[in-house]
Structure 1
Amino acid sequence: MSLHAPVPPLSGVGDVDARCHRLAQRFDAVRGRSAALSAPIGAEDAMVQSMADASPTKWHLAHTTWFFERFVLADGGPYTPFDPAWDYLFNSYYQSAGPMHARPQRGVLSRPTLAQVSDYRDAIETRMRARLQRGDLDARLLDIVELGLQHEQQHQELLLTDIKHAFFSNPLHPAYRDDLPQAGGSSVALGWIARQESIVEVGHAAWPGDAGFAYDNESPRHRVLVPAHALASRPVSNAEFLAFIEDGGYRAAGAWLSAGWDTVRARGWTRPLYWNKACEAEFTLGGWRALDPEAPVCHLSYYEADAFARWAGARLPTEFEWEQAAASLPVDGNFVDSARLHPSAPSTAATGLQQMFGDVWEWTSSAYTAYPGYRPWPGTLGEYNGKFMDAQWVLRGGSCATSADHVRASYRNFFPSDARWQFAGLRLAKDSA
């Protein structure tokens, strides 16, 4: 499957037979995209785990398959698992589903081989298609199928960010693909979009429901007071972040949170992850390329994004300021569907807010906590989001490695303060007088 091939729309609610048909199409499309994304990765590459926070390509492919086997096929009546031992290997963090192999040790799993994992995917896909074609999945299981597809799309992005880190960690610095297109852009002056104080509705209606898919951490929809503020018209660029570096940004503690400055010194940070020492080139999924000064800066930790904002005399936006601005905009941008797999400079000098979706996830100043009245999903799948609401920050908007149909204005991504290997950048905000 080409990365440019469209993914059918979400299944939504409605007649069970019709949902089975739509989900069967979507199942093939999403699973096909995983196969396309992993195709350039060889068997040796597919088992590499370059840090504890990342996972091998082979594990991503197996885990997303395990999800359908464990939560759909094995639900209910008698079921013969593909390999009972793999329930332990490919469980991620679902404690109520049973024990699991330690996350930092996923890179030692030379067995099963990539070929065996491919056979596993084929077998489970065949079983899933048969169930969908027979229409013998009830509404509850169809909801889990939809969740499993959304879950796989998350892992598609992780597959790309994790293999990028693995290849960067290799002294040979191999390219994931050396034929990736490079999209040029033009310099667009940073402007400010002001908004008055207002009470706005944020979040998403609980799923399943007529409003379409959303994760449980996006609900319930509720009202918040958003003070008067201004948002930058576009994300911070490489050139703007370079000015921060040249002004001693990584050498002086003044703009940094205390823990951020401790991290900078302990880890020897002097520039964004994947930039070379001269700050003239960056490592990409297409190998080393000249740094585009106008493209959004990416692979920043929360600490770096926050320090830059303070240095610039601004701040990071709250997630509610971000969502209020994005809610009326189409979900359009540089996503994985474009097959660039790297942030690009704005293609036009349009006025108003630009690049709210795609290119880079945007750090916010909002801690990842529960909304008022939040309820996790029932059962084992209740472990999906809620238990991670601790010491993490919310990011918004998606990236160049995100599927276009996977994000929305209410989508809440989250990572800890020191995470750098994701396609994360920032947009500035400031208080209005």
Structure 2
Amino acid sequence: MSSVTASAADARAVGAARQRTADAYRSVRETTLRLAAPLAPEDTVAQSMPEASPVKWHLAHTTWFFEAFVLARDPAYRPPHPDWHYLFNSYYQSVGPMHARPQRGLLTRPTLDEVVAWRAHVDGCLLERLARDDGPALHALVRLGLNHEQQHQELLLTDVKHLFSIHPLRPAYREDLAAPPAGRATPLRFVPGETGVRTIGHAAEGEGFAFDCETPRHGVLLQPHALADRCATNAEFLEFVRDGGYRTPALWMAEGWDLVCREGWTRPLYWMEDEASEFTLGGVRALDPHAPVCHVSFFEADAFARWAGARLPTEAEWETRAARLPVRGNFLDDGLLHPAPAGAGEGPRQLFGDVWEWTSSPYVAYPGFRPLPGALGEYNGKFMCGQWVLRGGSCATPAGHVRATYRNFFHPAARWQFAGIRLAKDTAGQGPTAEQEGR
């Protein structure tokens, strides 16, 4: 190949990469606005609890991220509202001070229209920047920002769900939201997992985007174990409830039992008192006994597992199984916005989508972990204390956002996320066949 031909090929490759990044940027930013579209302006301002954020804040914070970490790299860029950075910085202390998280619902100004106009301004500037800058550093920052915004797309939905659930009228986010297709859960079975030394984590090169907390790739030792072939269902969790699960302290971690007593927990977060209906993004609907139970805390998941004579999987056990499967499932893009029953099939199902799956693994650094340089190093690393890992994505997670190595994390008391349960068992000493009927 001549140098002229090679140069032309290189130019085409650069142009194609630029176009892919620009297309992905437009798609993600438009999706966020589309998720906010069913809401009235009044809906976008309210904050239901300190852990949640108003929709308007999500729209603004994701815009702030691109302005602060991408556009601000250009000394010629002038932010149109520099004082808004204080309002919409989340927790990046090295960038500057920020408004208190529990008081985000008090930010009636700027208005929703002003925030949307700011989004449009930043979008125009960023796309123009992409058109004239082919540097890999810029594209890497934009990819990080897009994955960050996809996280906030899920948070936007979970925060709206919590907000509407405590409204006396329990309004629906979308009245036209279709119910998940009917299905019947097959009897729970346990499928043998891999044993011995295995490798987990994301490789630094050649595997596409990953957050820094997914690296580096490293070896783990897996003991004989088996994973449930599907998530625990509403019917199975209802049996736990009716068997006195929330009244039996021996099933609970001490901190979890304190929460049960203090908060009066008797069922998953959005179940109604009749234990036959639940609040959804489509309003109050019948509880599907075959769908995965969701909106349970780590403490509830752990207590249920103990009651069932099982345990929660470690994140290494989960990943070594999920890495062998395609990333398919009920995601945000399917439009159900609610977990659906597992389909028929052999081996583990629902590893991706439907509900995030609590693991027994604390959220800590992998051996050799190094956070991103500069302020972006605050993205994940500083939260590696007192939180637990969830895997697999949910019905509110954008398709293409998760992968087998993806590590979500929340405090063990968190219930407002689409979090559910997959059981695991130790199988040492049980012989070559670990597959068995579950309770």
Structure 2 partner of 1:392? 387
**Which of 173, 176, 179 pairs up with 1:179?**
176
Q: For 1:178, give the aligned amino acid.
A: E
Please give the per-residue CA displacement for 1:377-432, whole angstroms capped at 9, x wherever unaligned. 00110000000000000000000000110000000000001000000001000000
* TM-superposed deviation, 1:153: 0.2
Q: CA deviation at 1:229?
A: 0.2
Alpha-carbon deviation of 1:16?
4.3
Question: Secondary structure of the equivalent of 1:341?
Answer: coil
Q: Does 1:356 align with 2:354?
A: no
Query: What are the residue-to-residue correspondences of 1:79-228 with 2, within 5 Å?
Result: 79-133=77-131, 135-182=132-179, 183-206=181-204, 209-228=205-224
Given that 2:292 and 2:354 are in contact with CA atoms closer than 8 Å, whether structure 1 keeps it comes out as yes
Match of 1:299 in 2: 295
Instruction: Note if contact 2:234-2:292 (Cα within 8 Å) is conserved in structure 1.
Output: yes
Q: Is the 8 A contact 1:56 1:106 kept in 2?
A: yes
Q: Which residue of 1 aligns with 2:323?
A: 327
Who is 1:9 aligned against? none
Aligned length: 416
Identity across the alignment (%)? 60
Deviations 1:141-187 (A, max 9, x none): 21100000000000000000000000001111000001111121122
Q: Distance in 2 between matches of 1:18 and 1:138?
A: 13
Aligned AA for 2:162? Answer: H
Indicate conservation of the 8 Å contact 2:194/2:321, yes or no: no
What residue number does 2:226 align with?
230
Q: Normalization by structure 2: what TM-score?
A: 0.93
Q: In the alignment, which residue of structure 2 is the partner of 1:345?
A: 341
> How many angstroms apart in 2 are the aligned matches of 1:178 and 1:319?
37
Task: Give the C-alpha shift of residue 53 in structure 1.
Answer: 0.2
Q: Which amino acid aligns with 1:248?
A: G
SS of residue in 2 equivalent to 1:406: coil
Q: Secondary structure at the match of 1:306?
A: helix
1:263 CA displacement: 0.6
Report the equivalent of 1:53: 51
Unaligned runs of 5+ in 2: 1-11, 430-439
Which amino acid is the alignment partner of residue 370 of structure 1?
A
2:115 and 2:51 map into 1 onto residues whose CA distance is 21
Please, what is the CA RMSD of the aligned residues? 1.1
Cross-structure match for 1:284? 280
Mean Cα deviation higher: 138-147 or 395-404: 138-147
TM-score between the two structures when normalised by the length of structure 1: 0.95
Q: Provide the C-alpha distance between the structure 1 equivalents of 2:141 and 2:160, rounded to a whole number of angstroms.
A: 28
Counterpart selection for 2:242 from 243, 246, 268: 246
Give the residue type in structure 2 aligned to 1:371: Y
1:281-310 Cα shifts (integer Å, max 9, x gaps): 000000000000000000000000000000
Tell whether the 8 Å contact from 1:16 to 1:138 is kept in structure 2 after alignment: no
Q: Which runs of 5+ in 1 are unaligned?
A: 1-13
Greater Cα offset, 251-260 or 158-167: 251-260
Q: 1:311 aligns with which of 285, 307, 315?
A: 307
Q: Which amino acid aligns with 1:170?
A: H
CA distance in 2, matches of 1:332, 1:382: 30
Note the alpha carbon deviations across 1:80-120, whole angstroms, 9 max, x for none: 11201111111011011000111110000000111111111
- Residue 76 of structure 1 deviates from its aligned partner by 3.1
CA distance in 2, matches of 1:100, 1:138: 31
CA displacement at 1:197 relative to structure 2: 2.2
1:420 and 2:415 equivalent? yes
